[in-house]
Structure 1
């Protein structure tokens, strides 16, 4: 179960989604609000995408992951595991043990940074402020810090780095209340990819001998 808790938290912090939230009163300064709204509007127009990213714990080495998203459906591969979510059922495949865990998918129980609503999650449960403008080579980024307002949240704050040229997310850093920090960086992003719905459904026939653990 420890593996499931780890991958569940990692999944909940991935900045990949296009689902809208109900707009609530802004909880940030005008500059940070404008930056986040422009970023949110950009991604909400994308119907599907594929992304390759790295994630680096403080003091640790960088690891790679990739995700494909289509509406509320997603497929995520990272940390020796692969998650299939068809919008109703979430299957977490663990390569090391050739085991898959099945759970009902409840989008309302995804936590502070649910992957199906991250692009507008800042509108509820966070206050935010513009931190700085940062240059990296020829590119310029705006850095906005989101601070959780939820007492039961595992997340303390999130720093998002947004490209000024096209409002795309370059990287984000998660600060957990237990002191752990993880930095995510988007390496490649392909919008509006053609992908069939069955790509997001786990097919046991493709994993010979897999042990199925039904947690529903």
Structure 2
């Protein structure tokens, strides 16, 4: 379950990366800074979003997922599991066993992976550099590489592919220090979706017979 939570945090963190303010100070070369700034300008007014994505571990089959984010709240559906986070309580539901684990949400425990702190992490936790231009069908992509500045980060590097035409996020690949490589691709992105706060809180009544494991 830990590996799923990490993957989910990676997704939320890297998608919400686009919503952050522009870099406060130079953390990389001018070209990469300009790309990230343009990407940020596109997304920074978004209050909430829903994203459908494909998650592909290295050597594995593509898995479909869905993420809904509203401010510091998020709900992620991926690989037969869901994470509910209302900003205070985090619930991880496992469909196969009809079990949910409840724990207090501790932003400090997730470090760079915490989607509620990705804005700060982006400004202070990474160096970035323009890597290359690439083609995907008719699309031209600009690839920027992010490198964590913290030695204890689980991430070795992240490569983000940005659509050159409209500065939207196309995909990103995360290289972890344990050698694992994961690629995420955004298939559909809906900005400013109307979603109630209750959507981010786990409701046991909606999951008949669920076993609740309270880890608080």
* Secondary structure of the corresponding residue to residue 123 of structure 2: coil
Question: What is the number of residues matched between the two proteins?
Answer: 213
TM-score, structure 2 length as denominator? Answer: 0.92
Equivalent residue, structure 2, for 1:12: 9
Kept in 1, the 8 Å contact 2:6–2:113? The answer is: no
Do the aligned partners of residues 22 and 171 (structure 1) sit closer, same or farther apart at CA in structure 2, a change above 3 Å counting? closer
Equivalent residue, structure 2, for 1:82: 82
Do the aligned partners of residues 35 and 117 (structure 1) sit closer, same or farther apart at CA in structure 2, a change above 3 Å counting? farther
CA shift for structure 1 position 81: 0.4
Q: Deviations over 1:85-106 (max 9, x none)?
A: 1111111101111110111112
RMSD, aligned CA: 1.8
CA shift for structure 1 position 119: 5.7
Equivalent residue, structure 1, for 2:62: 62
Kept in 2, the 8 Å contact 1:75–1:85? The answer is: yes
* Secondary structure of the corresponding residue to residue 202 of structure 1: coil
* Secondary structure of the corresponding residue to residue 130 of structure 1: strand
Equivalent residue, structure 1, for 2:138: 138
Moved over 6 A (4+): none
Q: Which 10-residue stretch deviates more, 35-44 or 177-186?
A: 35-44
* Secondary structure of the corresponding residue to residue 16 of structure 2: coil
CA shift for structure 1 position 60: 0.8
Equivalent residue, structure 1, for 2:161: 161
Equivalent residue, structure 2, for 1:192: 192
CA shift for structure 1 position 121: 3.4
CA shift for structure 1 position 183: 0.3
Query: Counterparts in 2 of 1:1-216, with a 5 A limit?
Result: 3=1, 5-14=2-11, 15-17=14-16, 20=20, 24-118=24-118, 121-216=121-216
Bigger proportion of residues as helix: 2
Q: Which 10-residue stretch deviates more, 138-147 or 6-15?
A: 6-15
Q: Distance in 1 between matches of 2:161 and 2:49?
A: 20
